[in-house]
Amino acid sequence: MRTAGRLSLIFAAVLAISGVAAYFYGEHLYTKPGPLAADKRLVIEKGSGVGQVAALLHRQGIIDNPLVFRLGVRLDGRAEALKAGEFDFPATISMQQAAALIASGKTVLRRLTIAEGLTTRQILTLVEAAEGMTGTTNGQAVPEGSLLPETYFYSWGDTRSALVARMRSAMAAAMAELWPAREAGLSLRTPDEAVILASIIEKETGIAEERRRVSAVFHNRLKRGMRLQSDPTVVYGLSGGSGGLGRPLTRSDLATPSPYNSYLNHGLPPGPIANPGRAAIEAALNPDNSKDLYFVADGSGGHAFARTLQEHNRNVARFRRLQRLQKAKP
C-alpha cells in the first residue's frame, strides 16, 4: 500500500510538472515572433469565430499553430473581442500580438480623394469604383453641388451610401459656417445661389489666387444685369452633368438653348454645374473689390482681366495670336 501511495504521488508530481511545462511552452509559442516574412494586409470577415480566424491566419502564414492561437486567445479573454475588418499585420508578429490587433479594431483606413469641380455623376462613379465598400449608390437622388470635395477615409465593409451621406453632411456643415460670414451687400440671396456661383468659379479657374477676382467679375455682371457668359455653364447643359464634351466649344454650342446657357440667359443657372470646394465657396461669398467685367485665358494657365469691352477685346486678340503661334510651332 505504501508503494502504491508513493507511485501515485510520483505520477501526480510528474503530471503537475508536465502541465506546468506544457503551459510555459504554450506561452512561449504564443508570444514568440511569428513566421510572417513580410507585412501583410488581410480581411477578417464579419461573423468569423476564433477557429475561423485561427485557420485564416494559419493559411496566410501569419501564425504557425492554430491550436495554440485558439487556446491563447481564450486564456487572454479575447475570444469574444475579435473584430471584423481589414488589418495590417507586420512581419514576425506573434500570435498574442495578432490577437491583440484584431481585438483592438484598429482597422486599415482607406482614403478616397474627391477633386474640386467634379460633377455629382463623376463623384458617384468614383465611389462605385472604390475598393472595399459595400452596397451601391445607384438609385440615390444626389443633387448637383451637394457633395463637398475633400479626402474621405473609410474602412473595409463601410457602405457607399454612408460615404455619400458624409459628403452631403460635410457640404451642409461648410455652408452653415461660411454663409453667415459672407460679405455684406452681395447679390446672392440664398446659400443655394452661393453654391451655384461657387461651382462656376470652380470650373472657370484652377488658380487659387484668381478665384476671388473671377468671383468679382460675376458679381459685377449680376449687379449690372449682364449675362454671365461662362463657357462651363454651356458645357454642363450640353453634357448633362457627365463632366465634359471631349471637344472645344463651338459657336453653335453657344447658341444652343439650355437653362444652363449663360450666353443666352440672364442671372444664375437653375442649379450648380459641379461640386465646388471650400475655397471656391469662400470666393463666391467674398469677392475681390474689383470693377472687372471680363476675363479671358492668357495662355499661361491664368486669365487676363478687363474692365471694358475694348480692353477685353485686346486681351482676346492677344490670346488668339498666342494660339496661332503655338499651332505654328513644329
pLDDT digits (tens, 9 = 90+) for 234-257: 999 999 888 888 898 999 999 999
Examine residue 5 and state whether it is found in any structural domain, yes or no: no
Could you tell me which residue, 3 or 36, shows the higher pLDDT?
36
pLDDT-derived band of residue 125, with 50, 70 and 90 as boundaries?
very high
Q: Stretch 212-233: mean pLDDT, rounded? A: 97
- 280 and 166, same structural domain? no
133-149: pLDDT as tens digits: 999 998 789 999 999 99
pLDDT (0 to 100) of residue 48: 92
35-69: pLDDT as tens digits: 999 999 999 998 999 999 999 999 999 999 999 99
Domain boundary among the residues 60, 83, 107 is at 107
Our measurement of the distance from residue 290's CA atom to the centroid of its chain's CA atoms, rounded to an integer in Å, reads: 35
β-sheet bridge partners, residue 151: 113
Domain CATH code at residue 98: 3.30.1490.480
Percentage with pLDDT > 90 across the chain: 78
- 310 and 256, same structural domain? yes
- 259 and 316, same structural domain? yes
Between CA 89 and CA 94 the distance in angstroms is 10
Percentage with pLDDT > 70 across the chain: 92
Q: Stretch 210-227: mean pLDDT, rounded? A: 97
* 153 contacts: CB under 8 Å, gap ≥ 6: 109, 110, 111
Task: Work out the number of other CB atoms within 10 angstroms of the CB of residue 117.
Answer: 22
Q: 259-263: long-range contacts at Cβ-Cβ below 8 A with a sequence spacing of 24 or more?
A: 260/233, 260/234, 260/236, 261/233, 261/234, 261/237, 262/200, 262/227, 262/228, 262/229, 262/230, 262/233, 262/234, 263/227, 263/229, 263/234
Examine residue 8 and state whether it is found in any structural domain, yes or no: no
Task: Work out the number of other CB atoms within 10 angstroms of the CB of residue 145.
Answer: 22
* 311 contacts: CB under 8 Å, gap ≥ 6: 294
pLDDT (0 to 100) of residue 19: 52
Between CA 251 and CA 48 the distance in angstroms is 62
DSSP alpha helix (H) spans, the chain: 2-31, 50-59, 66-76, 95-104, 120-129, 160-178, 191-204, 211-224, 231-239, 251-254, 278-285, 309-328
Examine residue 17 and state whether it is found in any structural domain, yes or no: no
Q: What is the DSSP string of 210-238?
A: GHHHHHHHHHHHHHHT-----HHHHHHHH
Question: DSSP 3-state assignment of 152?
Answer: strand
Which residue do the cell numbers 482676346 mark? 316
Q: Stretch 24-28: mean pLDDT, rounded? A: 71
Q: 327 to each of 190, 248, 299, how far by Cα in Å?
A: 45, 15, 13
Decide if 167 contacts 148 (C-beta within 8 A). Answer: yes
Looking at the structure of the chain, the number of domains it has is 3
Residue 104 has pLDDT above 70, yes or no: yes
pLDDT-derived band of residue 2, with 50, 70 and 90 as boundaries?
low
Domain boundary among the residues 63, 89, 107 is at 107
pLDDT-derived band of residue 286, with 50, 70 and 90 as boundaries?
very high
Between CA 73 and CA 64 the distance in angstroms is 15
**Which residue range forms the structural domain that includes residue 165?**
110-173
Identity of the residue numbered 87 = F
- 210 and 314, same structural domain? yes
Closest CA relative to residue 229, chosen from 245, 216, 217, 243: 217
Residue 4 has pLDDT above 80, yes or no: no
- 140 and 232, same structural domain? no
290, HSE (Cβ side, Cα atoms, 13 Å): 23
Could you tell me which residue, 17 or 249, shows the higher pLDDT?
249
Closest CA relative to residue 281, chosen from 148, 113, 167: 148
- 164 and 199, same structural domain? no
- 143 and 96, same structural domain? no
pLDDT (0 to 100) of residue 139: 74
- 319 and 204, same structural domain? yes
pLDDT (0 to 100) of residue 330: 67
Domain boundary among the residues 60, 82, 107 is at 107
Q: Stretch 163-186: mean pLDDT, rounded? A: 96
* Mean model confidence pLDDT for the chain: 90
- 121 and 50, same structural domain? no
**Helix (H), strand (E) at residue 151:** strand 151-154
- 218 and 307, same structural domain? yes
